[in-house]
Amino acid sequence: MLGNTFYNSIVKRNSVYVSTIFLGAFTFGVGFDVAVSSFWDRWNQGKQWKDIRDKYVQDADS
């Protein structure tokens, strides 16, 4: 059963539980940043420097 599996594998030892929480916080932070950045880029598409750089810079060492 899902609830018992979750409890026995993660919650039963507090060290595992806290480590899981910290790991989850890390992955959540990374995922949140990626999600917000992609949303920002989509929302401001065509307005940012990286989108319009080709119109102004043609040098070779870019």
Q: Which residues bind another protein (CB under 8 A)?
A: 1-4, 6-7, 10-11, 17-18, 20-22, 24-26, 28-29, 32
Q: Quick one: 18 or 52, whose CB is closer to another protein?
A: 18
Amino acid in position 4: N
In the bound state with another protein, the residue whose beta carbon lies nearer, of 14 and 45, is 14
Asked whether 15 and 21 are in contact (CB, 8 A), the reply is no
Residues 6+ apart with CB under 8 A from 11: 17
Minimum distance of another protein from residue 47's CB (angstroms):
23
